[in-house]
Amino acid sequence: MKVKITDIQHFSLHDGAGIRTTVFLKGCNLKCPWCANPECISPKIEKGFGMYISLDELETEILKDEPYYQTGGGVTFSGGEPLLQIKDLEPLLKRLNINICFETALFAGEELVKIANEYADELIVDIKMLNPENAKNVLGGNITQFLSNLDFIDLDKVTFRIPVTKYSLDDTTEICNLIRKYPPKKIEIFKLHNLAKRKYEILEKEFYTENITDAQINDFKNQLKEAFDNVEIIEF
């Protein structure tokens, strides 16, 4: 069995607890304009981005970092939307005896979400926006699917990760209500960055920017903190 990836990043510090190995799976069913990994959106191999890797090869790469996992780390499957290939990954998930995290937008079928929840020690779940029309037009996703999937995951494994954009700011009240209803382990918010600009040039895609100020980010953080105490601003 093989899966399609774009990269394996060793020594990752932002993708879950401890020092981690992050596997970027190729293919996503959303089209977030600010995506930091635009080369992971198309499931096709394009412009030199993407390769097939067998589960045995992937296991070897992941376990090269095993000594670092004593920090509480492990492997994080990111992307792209890692849940789209989770059935192909499952034989490896079964035999990996390390901490497993999925970084997911949670716009996936219930069956795939349940598999992820079963194997995950940690789940990083993005909250990008909650307005149904914006979710449909800007992300290309069905917000009802995202919301119903929250009922199938163990919240004590969850970190909600929220990009601070005009869309999340517009939906602050709804996001606060959501985190009251689904209290996670912690919440991370982050400002869009331009680290992926070169990849957009290579892919000949338009690079998206917004002018969100630090004051707006702090205000957003403070409003979230009224709904849930453990909110952190992270930087990539």
Residue 234: closest CA among 146, 154, 159: 159
CB of 171 to ligand SF4, least distance (A): 16
DSSP string, 3-54: EEEEEEEEEESSSSSSSEEEEEES--S---TT-S-GGGTSSS-BTTB-EEEE
Quick one: 84 or 179, whose CB is closer to ligand SF4? Answer: 84
Rule CB under 6 A: which residues touch ligand SF4? 28, 30-32, 35, 37, 40-41, 79-81, 105
CB of 8 to ligand SF4, least distance (A): 16
Torsion of CA 68, 71, 72, 76, to 10 degrees: -40
Quick one: 36 or 155, whose CB is closer to ligand SF4? Answer: 36
Quick one: 127 or 227, whose CB is closer to ligand SF4? Answer: 127
Contact between residue 16 and residue 101 where contact means Cβ atoms under 8 Å apart: yes
CB of 231 to ligand SF4, least distance (A): 20
Quick one: 68 or 208, whose CB is closer to ligand SF4? Answer: 208
- How far apart, in whole angstroms, are the C-alpha atoms of residue 161 and residue 21? 19
CB of 41 to ligand SF4, least distance (A): 5
- Gyration radius of the chain over CA positions: 17
Quick one: 99 or 165, whose CB is closer to ligand SF4? Answer: 165
CB of 180 to ligand SF4, least distance (A): 24
* Backbone CA torsion sign across 147, 153, 158, 161: negative
